[in-house]
């Protein structure tokens, strides 16, 4: 869960998750949505990937990113036990 909380502790990464909730996208398409360099977005995508909040799949020269809600379930559980 450490990596999940770490990944969520950034506004850009949270925005990326909201984008991917609407539809899966290439790294480039994601980067277009932000006023930030591509390497920076790539770095954010990597942290989301390490936390398993997104999956990625190579499609030719593109890399397609999708949200992975499995880990969000775990976060739900964590919150529930905290609320009792």
Measure the CA–CA gap between 59 and 40, rounded to whole angstroms. Answer: 21
Closer to DNA by CB, 53 or 80: give it.
Answer: 53
17 binds, among its own copies, DNA, none (CB under 5 to 8 A by kind): its own copies
- Nearest alpha-carbon partner for 17 in 71, 60, 61: 71
Number of C-beta neighbours around residue 45 at 10 A:
21
Site for its own copies in 19-48 (CB under 8 A): 21
Please give the residue ranges that form the binding site for its own copies (CB under 8 A). 2, 5-6, 8-11, 14, 17-18, 21, 67, 69, 72, 75-76, 79, 81-84
């Amino acid at each position: 869960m450490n990596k999940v909380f770490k990944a969520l502790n950034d506004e850009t990464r949270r925005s990326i998750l909201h984008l991917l909730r609407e539809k899966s996208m290439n790294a480039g398409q994601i980067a277009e949505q932000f006023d930030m360099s591509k390497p920076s977005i790539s770095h954010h995508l990597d942290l989301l990937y390490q936390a398993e909040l997104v999956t990625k799949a190579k499609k030719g020269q593109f890399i397609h990113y999708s949200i992975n809600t499995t880990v969000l379930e775990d976060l739900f559980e964590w919150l529930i036990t905290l609320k009792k």
